[in-house]
Structure 1
Amino acid sequence: MGDVLSRLKGKLIVSCQALENEPLYGSGTMAKMAIAAVAGGAVAIRANTPEDIREIKKAVDVPVIGLYKRDYEDSQVYITPTLREAEQIVLAGADIVAADLTHRRRPYNHTSDQFIKEYKRNFPQVPLMADIATVAESINAAELGADLISTTLVGYTQETKHVKEFNPQILKEIVEKTARPVIAEGRIYTPEEAELALEMGAYAIVVGSAITRPLVITERFVAKIQKQGSRVV
């Protein structure tokens, strides 16, 4: 684990993901996106689904943080929600497994505490990244054995829905209170925000939408232009 983590310290990780309703959806496209990201200086890739992970591992020689988004009717947790998804990610060759480890109930009425214990028992050789939304969740995940903490879900849970943009103060507090490397992820749209995240103590930075989702990037530009255009007389 130490070798993988040392490659990430102070560097950029690019999230290469596309949803099924997006034009770039597909493992081949995500592999090409990963190649472009690594050519630009990214030191690792964050990827969704076993298929994408396998294709990206073939395409680039950098660590891959794997996750598997699956929807379950009895839970709001969708980032690697059960051990079954974690196993498929590990078998696909992920160097790190990322999972939602918020306090929300998991499928089958399981808890994040149970997930962490089962994961560490079954896959002790593959580091576990805890995607969290609050300081309390980061502390809990670290105490139970998560190897890294990521701010991925800040702003995306009921408790944090008021957070609409990158919040360096939340990141700073998580870093100060969590005895694990903290990865800054979520709504980081500019190089300046990435730099600020490192100043706040982030171990590394994950950027996704601002780099690899042209549909989302275009929508953001269009929204700003339309807002400004409505003021033009």
Structure 2
Amino acid sequence: MTKQEIFDSIKGKVIVSCQAVPGEPLYVEEKSIMYLMARAAKRAGTPMIRTSSIRDVVAIKEETGLPVIGLIKINYPGFESFITPTMKEVDELAEVGSDIIALDCTDMKRGDGKSIEEFMTEVRKKYPDQILMADISTYEEGVRAWKLGMDLVGTTMSGYTPYSVKLNGPDYELVKRLAETVDIPVIGEGRVHSPEDAVKMLEAGAFAVVVGGAITRPMEIATRFIKAVENRE
């Protein structure tokens, strides 16, 4: 699919995030089971899957035939950023045909000594035709990513960097401000816990919405129910 075809397919839609990293209940060392989550999401009508790790990108594309936002979560010494933080991960994701590659484009510390501007510029130079998504936490980071040639900007990291606003729900204001400024798709992501939250994201100006934990992380879903019952008056 071309970039325009992909964008047309996701406009106004819900992208389902199907991820499980080591330590999470649905992470299986021997074989990923995320393709089953992606199968369910496809049947529900999602046009795209967001997923972490090479094995999940490959398995989900094979299972669903849907375009995939690929990323790799990895912690390197000296790095605070952990979503596709180096060119090594970008290379791996490009090699397996990730339709979109998501990068941490926040101001968090990079252990390689490069600025995020330098990293984004290097990635764009090496992969001029690759669709790149900037995961950001603030308005300023989003505008910078747009100016540096990223194709989409997602509010993924809002609330997850030390300096970004901490909210219980989605950062509608960040979505709104970015949508009014940049001329690339703004993807609303982060703490979208209900269908109503997803609708509000679109009403705030999001091009599309990513929903993960509320759909594909059963421990988080169960915990919300249990806490609500335990905390009732």
TM range (shorter): over 0.9
1:138-157 aligned at under 5 Å gives the runs 138-157=142-161
1:174-213 aligned at under 5 Å gives the runs 174-213=178-217
Is the 2:32–2:55 contact (alpha carbons within 8 Å) kept by the matching residues of 1?
no
Query: Taking structure 1 as the reference length, what is the TM-score of the superposition?
Result: 0.95
Q: Tell me which protein shows more helix as a share of its residues.
A: 1
Q: Which runs of 4+ in 1 moved over 4 A?
A: none
Structure 2 residue aligned with 1:126, among 119, 126, 130?
130
RMSD over equivalenced CA pairs, Å: 1.2
Structure 2 residue aligned with 1:164, among 168, 179, 187?
168
Residue 223 (1) aligns with residue 210 (2): no
Is the 2:155–2:171 contact (alpha carbons within 8 Å) kept by the matching residues of 1?
no
Give 1:23 shift: 2.5
Is the 1:81–1:107 contact (alpha carbons within 8 Å) kept by the matching residues of 2?
no
**How far apart, CA to CA, are the structure 1 residues paired with 2:23 and 2:41?**
22
Unpaired runs of at least 5, structure 1: none
Residue 39 (1) aligns with residue 31 (2): no
**How far apart, CA to CA, are the structure 2 residues paired with 1:153 and 1:166?**
11
Residue 74 of structure 2 aligns to which amino acid in structure 1? R
**How far apart, CA to CA, are the structure 1 residues paired with 2:79 and 2:44?**
38
Give 1:179 shift: 2.2
The share of aligned pairs that are identical, in percent, is 39
Give 1:161 shift: 4.8
**How far apart, CA to CA, are the structure 2 residues paired with 1:55 and 1:46?**
12
Is the 2:171–2:190 contact (alpha carbons within 8 Å) kept by the matching residues of 1?
no
Residue 103 (1) aligns with residue 107 (2): yes
**How far apart, CA to CA, are the structure 2 residues paired with 1:83 and 1:2?**
25
**How far apart, CA to CA, are the structure 1 residues paired with 2:13 and 2:60?**
19
**How far apart, CA to CA, are the structure 1 residues paired with 2:203 and 2:229?**
31
Query: Taking structure 2 as the reference length, what is the TM-score of the superposition?
Result: 0.95
Give 1:28 shift: 3.5
Please give the secondary structure, in 2, of the residue aligned with 1:158.
coil
Give 1:166 shift: 1.2
Give the structure 1 partner of residue 11 of structure 2.
9
